[in-house]
Structures are given as C-alpha cells and as structure tokens.
Structure 1
C-alpha cells in the first residue's frame, strides 16, 4: 500500500485543528498513547498565510507533552 506521507501528515494536522481544546487520545508511532487535552492551532504569518505547526501539545494530568505531528499514528476524541 502506497501512502503519501505529506497527505497523511496534513490529515493529522487537520484533525488536530478540529479537536483543539478537547480531550483526545493520541497514538504515537512508538506504540505509546497519550490521553489528555489537545492544544493545536493554525498560526497566521506576516504575509497572511496560514501555517500549521509541526508540533502539538497534549496536557496529561497537568503535565504538557509536546508531540511532533509526524510521530502521530492516530488521533481521536478521548
């Protein structure tokens, strides 16, 4: 099965935008799962272009965990 990595990463970013501020379950490529509140928002640069950050933050029991988007296998409501 051929998967375009850029399309997959963009799909994860889009899903992260949808779930920003909610409780999520994030499955990481190493097999670990984080359950907590997701922080991920699109930024607008000086030229007015929207930029998707390459990392998100999952707060688990008051401890913020920074996660690279390309290391996420799946993300869903937790």
Structure 2
C-alpha cells in the first residue's frame, strides 16, 4: 500500500480540528490508545496565515499528553 504521508497528516489535522474540545480516542502508531479531551489550537501568524501545529494535546485523567501528529494512526470521537 502506497500512502502519501502529507495527505495522511493533513487528514489527521482536519479531524483534530473537527473534534477539538471533545472527548476522543487516539490510537498511536506504537499500539497505545489514549482517551481524553482533545486540544488542538490553530493560530494565525503576523502575515495572516493560518498555522496548523504538528502536535495535539489529549488530557487524560488531568494529565496533558502532547502527541506528534505523525505518530497517530487514528483519531475518533470517544
């Protein structure tokens, strides 16, 4: 199977935007699964361009876990 990594990362970022602030289940590439509240903050730089970070945060039992988007296999509503 030939997967375009850029397209895959963009799909994860889009899904993170949709689910921002909700409870999610995140499956990591190492086989671990996290369930918690998602925080994915998009910012705007001085030129007015939208910046989509390469990390997101899932808060599990009051502990924030920062995850690189390229380490995520799947993300869904939990």
How high is the TM-score relative to the length of structure 1?
A: 0.98
- Structure 1 segments unaligned to the other structure (5+ residues): none
Correspondence for 2:53: 53
Query: Which runs of at least 4 in structure 1 moved beyond 2 Å after TM superposition?
Result: none
- Structure 2 segments unaligned to the other structure (5+ residues): none
RMSD: 0.5
Q: Aligned equivalents of 1:41 and 1:16: distance in 2?
A: 9
1:12-68 deviation per Cα after TM superposition (whole angstroms, max 9, x unaligned):
000000000000000000000000000002111110000100100000000000000
